[in-house]
Amino acid sequence: MRILIADDDCTSRAVLAAVLQKNGFEVLQTTNGAEAWQLLQQPQAPALAILDWVMPELDGLELVRRVRALATDRPPYLIMLTSRCAKVDVIAGLDAGANDYLTKPFDSGELRARVAVGRRMIELQEALVRSKELLAHQATHDALTGLYNRRAILARLQDEMARAQRGAALAIGSCDIDHFKRINDSYGHQTGDEVLCGLARLLTEQLRPFDSLSRFGGEEFLIVAPIKNGTCHVALFDRLCRQVANTPIVTRNGPLALTLSIGVACYRPTDDLDQLLARADAALYRAKEQGRNRVIYAACGEMDEATLIKS
């Protein structure tokens, strides 16, 4: 763990560094509050800082206030170091946001103990942040494939629709594995799960960085594809359909050939979320009815959208 020492007293700083380094800590040193402030704003800032109260350019009390005003999930553990020992000073330091207080001259044993408390607090804080991140991931991702779940992709789609209302173009693709029930019936659900995961990887590899992919439910996937200048959503979905048909998915029962039916709809200013999804679903149903393993584009005015893009 890295520890920052901010103290303009050379002797005090050297003793602090020696004790901490002896106990296995990586130590950064600075002689004024302004330098400490710069270090504590960095993405990889030290997790613990020992700050002298009286320093040039920026005193420890103001430094603590600034650090506590930073928006971060991993705030550093701050120990105020000062010769001031009156209760009113201790209260002022803690009120400003310091976690602990150490008076000069300090005892090396007390320093080790207070740093050990800080380290335990940092470890607990890190565990809490990881748990929070895990819960956030679980709330927005499908447990089997690791893709966005239905809730997350709908939120993403609403964001893209808001951009489209300001002039951007947007297409969505409702994708369904053809005859997926036969796979489950013939090979079992474990193989079916491998097919879903393999297809998720294949689609992810083929999509562009700004596209979004979700497992929308069962064997159905939803693709949200912003249409950037110079790009063609028709080429994207046609390529996905061909790639799936030409790439068997490796399973415990050997490689299995798949095909995909895709219904595509482009956003229209009159669409709400349900209407846009309904048009893509209707196109998907037509793809199934017309023989599967194909892309069908939802109607857009008098011509279909594929014709409009290609013309």
**Partners of 2 in beta bridges:** 26
The full length of the chain comes to: 311
- Which residue from 70, 123, 72, 61 is spatially nearest to 94, judged by alpha carbons? 61
End-to-end CA distance of the chain: 61
**227, 308 Cβ separation under 8 angstroms:** no
Catalytic residue among 219, 220, 289, 305: 219
219 is catalytic: yes
CB-based burial, 170-209: b 16+ in 10 Å, e otherwise: bbbbbbbbbebeebeeebeeebbebbbbbbbebbeebbee
**Partners of 3 in beta bridges:** 27, 48
**6, 49 Cβ separation under 8 angstroms:** yes
How far apart are alpha carbons 280 and 175 in whole angstroms? 9
User: Known catalytic residues?
Assistant: 219
